[in-house]
Structure 1
Amino acid sequence: MSTVPMDWVQGPWLVQFHSVSIAAYNALCLENREFPHWIISYVKEGNVTTTSGGESHTVRSGDMMLHPPHLPFSEYSVTKGVHLWMHVSIQCAQHLELLQLYRVPPVVTIPEPARYEAAFMRLLTVWDNPGVPFRDLRLTSGMLQLMEHVLSGWEKAGSPERSEAYDSARDRFARLIGHMSVRLHEKLSRGDLAALVSLSPNYLDRAFEREFGLTPMQMLREMRLKRAKQLLEQSEATLEAIADNCGMADASYLCKQYKKQYGMLPGEYRESFRQKRNYNLYG
């Protein structure tokens, strides 16, 4: 099962397209292809064998192939086929690729193929028309709709993780962030985090900060405070319970850190949120 909880990865989303296209063929032989961003290829018609990272998978009509950046892959078919494919990057608020944090396997069955295909054709129409109004907004919206279909298929299959054979060096940090996200309630030290990725604490701090602009412990603090903010908005839990859920010593420490981060105490934020939530604009 995936180490990243389904409600943790948040926007805003940065979507960058490099290609959107339809490919039809009588036979297919792509060998050791490599791209700087994700290749997301939906098999509308045909049967394909794909290999990458020493693994081989059979892909049928209605399945999606996901090829990670900078990892050579091959695709073979001796029969006719049609692929709806994209070369794209999708980053979330954690400055990581969406598919790094959601460790979706290389092949996913799409639950509602007709709806996916219709959404793709809408996206392709926008891609092929540079002058269309609000093009970037339409492209981003369309891509997120398509990814919802992919993630729904993954969830329906039980959210199995792709193997480490598909990992890049940056994926190691994605796994670390995933571990942090499900252990917010635990007392984690620098040494604990470094052990998760088999690095020394000092080296991890330097390498992690080069990628994200903050150390793992600083990111862990931000994640805990974001989780506390969610609980203040979505539950009636006491401050002591929220502090415990977020790995903080007690309510007093939570209040101190929350005030430092957001400029108000947790109780003040909860009351302000309730007032806004219950406000009737047209009442």
Structure 2
Amino acid sequence: MSSIIHSQFDITVLDVIKIQYQKRVLFDYVQSCYTVSYIQKGEVLTTSSEGEYVASAGDVMIHRPNEPFNVISKMEGVHYLFNINAKVKDGDNFFKLFPLGKVIRIRDQSEYERRFDELRSLWLQEEEDFRNVQVGSLAFFLLYEIMESTKLGGRRSSRDPYVTDRFNEALKYMEERLDQEISREELSKLYHMNPVYFSRAFQKIYKLTPMQMLRKLRLQQAKQMLEYTDYTIEHISQRCGYYDASHFSKVFRGEYGRGPAEYRKSIEYTKTNIATP
């Protein structure tokens, strides 16, 4: 008894690379194929139109073609990646028929790494028919491992918890420069991020855009200065980044329900009553 197997899988491997780095920054990077990038060492932040994800050792990142993405790491790392086009059946895109998450935790990392090393070794050899079959088979095996890992719950969602201290550097930067002009673009450069992506990621953590947070920090400082110093309203407004005292008073009133002078008087009244026996 015999069986005839018709292949329904058409795979084209375009490159197989090992990347080692001290720090890594890809900003608005666009490619024409899929990139399957396994993190053997390190941790990265990756952002795209799909959302924002933190990927660490043992995870695979899948970058879609013709969609800009960022990859940022401030630590030493090693990535195993291959660029690929894959089709099944009547030319349908493999990744559309079998949608995978942006970041996936690999179930058997040592086996994945071993198979990748085989793929890399074959890729560096001279081309021949048998070699191409082996390359395609190993690439298919790696895709199979990714799919099986997804079934076991390895798919990572953009709803994964964020590291809440991630933007502490931006907050500190704002707090130290409340009397200066600060833009979203300026803050995003601290993280080598696209300003739009930075603003979205920041807002997901703090429920405020960076500029709304800057306004909040300025008004909080103004409030403290009104409570604990004798500085004039004009001086406080300048120290808090408002060079027009009347505009500062309007913004302060909108936030706290009374103008700076009224607020200071109410604080003084409260302190006096508390101090009076």
Calculate the aligned-residue CA RMSD, in Å.
2.2
Q: What is the distance in 2 between the residues matched to 1:76 and 1:153?
A: 24
Residue 152 of structure 1 is aligned with which of 117, 132, 148?
A: 148
Q: What is the distance in 2 between the residues matched to 1:154 and 1:93?
A: 22
Please state how far the C-alpha of 1:56 moved relative to its aligned partner. Answer: 0.6
Q: What is the distance in 2 between the residues matched to 1:143 and 1:119?
A: 9
The CA deviation string for residues 133-191 of structure 1, in whole angstroms up to 9 with x for no partner, is 6011101110111011100111111778999xxxxxxxxxxxxxxxxxxxxxxxxxxxx
Q: What is the distance in 2 between the residues matched to 1:54 and 1:63?
A: 17
1:129 alignment counterpart: 125
Q: 1:132 to 1:85 in 2, by over 3 A?
A: same
Give the match's secondary structure for 2:92.
coil
* 1:132-281 matched pairs, under 5 angstroms: 134-157=130-153
Please state how far the C-alpha of 1:110 moved relative to its aligned partner. Answer: 0.3
Matched, 1:57 2:45: no
2:80 alignment counterpart: 84
Give the match's secondary structure for 2:140.
helix
Please state how far the C-alpha of 1:11 moved relative to its aligned partner. Answer: 4.6
Letter in 1 for 2:111: R
Residue 116 of structure 2 is aligned with which of 120, 124, 130?
A: 120
Q: 1:50 to 1:140 in 2, by over 3 A?
A: same
Residue 99 of structure 2 is aligned with which of 95, 98, 103?
A: 103
Q: What is the distance in 2 between the residues matched to 1:160 and 1:63?
A: 9
2:14 alignment counterpart: 18
Relative to the length of structure 1, the TM-score reads 0.51
Please state how far the C-alpha of 1:45 moved relative to its aligned partner. Answer: 0.2
Give the match's secondary structure for 1:104.
coil
Residue 66 of structure 1 is aligned with which of 37, 62, 87?
A: 62
The CA deviation string for residues 70-127 of structure 1, in whole angstroms up to 9 with x for no partner, is 1111100000000000111111113122111111110000000000000000001111
| Aligned-pair identity (%) | 22
2:248 alignment counterpart: none
Letter in 1 for 2:89: A
The CA deviation string for residues 196-221 of structure 1, in whole angstroms up to 9 with x for no partner, is xxxxxxxxxxxxxxxxxxxxxxxxxx
Q: What is the distance in 2 between the residues matched to 1:81 and 1:102?
A: 29
Q: 1:154 to 1:94 in 2, by over 3 A?
A: farther
2:24 alignment counterpart: 28
Q: 1:147 to 1:75 in 2, by over 3 A?
A: same
1:191 alignment counterpart: none
Q: What is the distance in 1 between the residues matched to 2:154 and 2:59?
A: 16
The CA deviation string for residues 17-36 of structure 1, in whole angstroms up to 9 with x for no partner, is 11100000000110111111
Q: What is the distance in 2 between the residues matched to 1:124 and 1:35?
A: 21
Q: 1:19 to 1:134 in 2, by over 3 A?
A: same
Q: What is the distance in 2 between the residues matched to 1:20 and 1:87?
A: 7
Q: 1:90 to 1:49 in 2, by over 3 A?
A: same
Please say which structure displays the higher CA radius of gyration: 2
Q: 1:42 to 1:14 in 2, by over 3 A?
A: same
1:45 alignment counterpart: 41
Give the match's secondary structure for 1:88.
strand
Q: What is the distance in 1 between the residues matched to 2:130 and 2:60?
A: 28
Give the match's secondary structure for 1:105.
coil
Q: What is the distance in 2 between the residues matched to 1:51 and 1:36?
A: 18
Letter in 1 for 2:149: G
Please state how far the C-alpha of 1:16 moved relative to its aligned partner. Answer: 0.8
Q: What is the distance in 2 between the residues matched to 1:149 and 1:157?
A: 13
Task: Mark the runs of 5 or more structure 1 residues left unpaired by the alignment.
Answer: 1-9, 164-283
Q: What is the distance in 2 between the residues matched to 1:11 and 1:66?
A: 24
Give the match's secondary structure for 1:114.
helix
Structure 1 segments (4+ residues) deviating >6 Å: 158-163
Q: What is the distance in 2 between the residues matched to 1:91 and 1:131?
A: 22
Task: Mark the runs of 5 or more structure 2 residues left unpaired by the alignment.
Answer: 1-5, 160-277
Q: What is the distance in 1 between the residues matched to 2:127 and 2:153?
A: 39
Letter in 1 for 2:71: E
